[in-house]
Amino acid sequence: MDESRAGHGTIQWHGTTIIGVKKGGKTVIAGDGQVSMGNTVMKPNARKVRRIGAPDQNGAGKVIGGFAGATADAFTLFERLERKLEQHHGQLMRAAVELAKDWRTDKYLRNLEALMIVADAETMLILTGNGDVLEPEGGIAAIGSGGNYALAAAKALTEYEDDAEKIARRAMQVAAEVCVFTNDRVTVETL
């Protein structure tokens, strides 16, 4: 998890890779499970990708999200996003914009250090603490220390592969092979 908190005088954490792929009517978010402190792997199987929001007909949340950053901060943001989704009747874009406004202006939230990729069946977004709500070009988004590796791999694969989940899994495999702060214990959620 890309948890650099050196500026706050606490332990410096690094590492994670989250990728979102939207292709062929399918949306996938995948993330590795490694939590590192310095050069030590503290936990190999953290779950950084999850479903949130009102349940669909199968009882699962209609929004999937993955985070890179401080774990407690990310959970706080997931909870806030879930409340915004309830307030805005499941409209992800509106909920994300309202969360980004709060994140940027609220004294407490402004100190939270995390990035998020969130998606529903129609939309995929990257949310940042700077108030950014970014819709990735080409249906591929990646964050975290291995994010650029996964992004490059997914972009290369998208011309040759039609299955969003296969693209995400292979991109995560590439990132795990190159980034020392990313492992191959991948959690995948699909819509």
Neighbours of 110 (CB within 10 A): 13
Element (H, E) at 103: helix 92-105
**Of 165, 163, 137, 168, nearest in space to 153 by CA:** 168
Burial class of residue 124, CB neighbours in 10 A (0-12, 13-18, 19+): buried
Q: What DSSP string describes 125-159?
A: EEE-TTS-EE--GGGEEEEETTHHHHHHHHHHHTT
Candidate list 16, 17, 27, 182, residue with the active-site label: 16
Strand partners, 67: 116
Task: Give yes or no: 16 in active site.
Answer: yes
Catalytic residues: 16
